[in-house]
Amino acid sequence: MTIKDIARLAGVSVSTVSRVLNHHPDVSEAIRAQVLAVVEEHHFIPNTAARRLVQPQGNTVGVIRSGNGDPFYAPIFSAMEEALRARGWRMCLRQLHYSDDELACAAELERAERLRGIILLGGRFDYSEAMAAPLGVPFVCCTHRNLFGDLSPDRYSSVAIDDEAAAWRAVEVLYALGHRSIALLVPSRQDHSPGELRFRGYCRALEAFGLPLAPERIAVSGSYSLADAYRATLALIDSGTPFTALFAVSDLMAAAAIRALHERGRPVPRDCSVIAIDGLELTEYTLPPLTTLVQPAAELGWQSVELMLDLLDGGAHRHILLTPELRAGASVAPPP
């Protein structure tokens, strides 16, 4: 079933069918109805491949999802998919692991699927001009910015929270409660990921509050995984370093940390407070409910689509910084 068949059945030419299908105004109402009737009757849907072949501009946006497996990205991704579809755009997805090169993948996808633009969800912070060079279409970073590479800010767009500021706020909450020995749980001090920025925010906050930065109070887990966070927290506790509060850079890591603390006889928040950043829905129902800075997931998703469509419409690159909201759980309290 092609438009040729529809044309024949409706007693019109293919171009008329094409016009009807593409909502062109210059078709008489009578003919339009006539054609649509046949289309409906046969459940006809035009061949997308042919359409894309002939239309220089497609309507597909690529989404590269890095750090796959992290539940934090799920609602952001869903929001993106919905926003894209609502605006009449197709999405082409590629899921990557943290170690994969998302920019190389993006370039490949762009050419293979004739993408109009690319949204990078959860990528890295260290793009160079050279890495971005193969990309022929605009791209927007969601949940990250290029803070470490030399790629100019007017070469890409982004939506993210201010990780450093968020970390500062987390530490501030603990400080305001009276904590002076605040430990940190982070995957790495210098992996150019959000963790590094949150580590920075932690350092700056301590400094601002006149607290010493004690390296022995920093648990480096090596990854964002629950298992690694759990192990690193146990090691921190077992090292004997005193601390009355812990700032975990992600909800997931905080959950693992709380279990570790509990198992070493340090109930949260009575013996130790825990705060984090991300705001998974589930951690609102854990014991204790986690106090955390919630990232506006849905907004991150649709803002990145908004940014993309604006770009495709000739708009300039922009960088949006969203503010996380403190979700008061029950994992923080004054020091014992």
Partner DNA sequence: TTGAAAGCGCTAACAT
Partner DNA sequence: ATGTTAGCGCTTTCAA
CB contact at 8 A, 270 and 336: yes
- Our finding on whether 31 is near DNA (CB under 7 A) is yes
Task: Give φ, ψ of 158 to 5 degrees.
Answer: -160, 150
Give, as ranges, the residues between 197 and 226 that touch a copy of itself (CB under 8 A): 226
| Residue 112 binding target from a copy of itself, DNA, none, CB below 5 to 8 Å by type | a copy of itself
CB of 4 to DNA, least distance (A): 6
Q: Which of 14, 34, 16, 13 is nearest to 24 (CA)?
A: 16
Does position 95 interact with a copy of itself (CB under 8 A)? The reply is: yes
Task: Write down how long the chain is.
Answer: 336
45 exposure class (CB count in 10 Å sphere: 0-12, 13-18, 19+)? exposed
For the bound state, the minimum distance from the C-beta of residue 149 to a copy of itself, rounded and expressed in Å, comes to: 21
Does 43 sit near a copy of itself (CB under 8 A)?
yes
Task: Show the DSSP H helices in 68-217 as ranges.
Answer: 73-86, 102-113, 129-132, 163-176, 194-208
Q: Which is nearer to a copy of itself, 9 or 206 (CB)?
A: 9
Nearer to DNA, 39 or 79 (CB): 39
Dist. CA 275–CA 183, nearest whole Å: 11
- What residue 93 binds from a copy of itself, DNA, none (CB within 5 to 8 A, per partner kind)? a copy of itself
What is the signed CA dihedral for 250, 256, 259, 264, rounded to 10 degrees?
-100
**Is 55 a residue that touches DNA (CB under 7 A)?**
yes
CB 293 within 8 Å of CB 326? yes
Q: Which of the listed partners (DNA, a copy of itself, none) does 15 bind, with a CB threshold of 5 to 8 Å by partner kind?
A: DNA
Is residue 116 a contact point for DNA (CB under 7 A)?
no
* Nearest distance from C-beta of residue 58 to DNA, angstroms: 11
User: Between β-strands 117-121 and 157-161, what pairing exists: parallel, antiparallel or unpaired?
Assistant: unpaired
Shortest distance, position 65 Cβ to a copy of itself, whole Å: 9
Within 93-112, the residues that bind DNA by CB under 7 A are none
The residue within the footprint of a copy of itself, chosen from 259, 266, 317, 327 (CB under 8 A), is 259
Find the helix or strand (DSSP H, E) in which 118 lies. strand 117-121
49 binds a copy of itself, rule: CB under 8 A: yes
Position 69 contacts a copy of itself (CB under 8 A): yes
Number of H helices, E strands in the chain: 12, 12
Q: Is 33 in the site for DNA (CB under 7 A)?
A: no
- Please give the residue ranges that form the binding site for DNA (CB under 7 A): 2-4, 11-16, 18-19, 21-22, 25-28, 30-32, 46-47, 50-51, 53-55
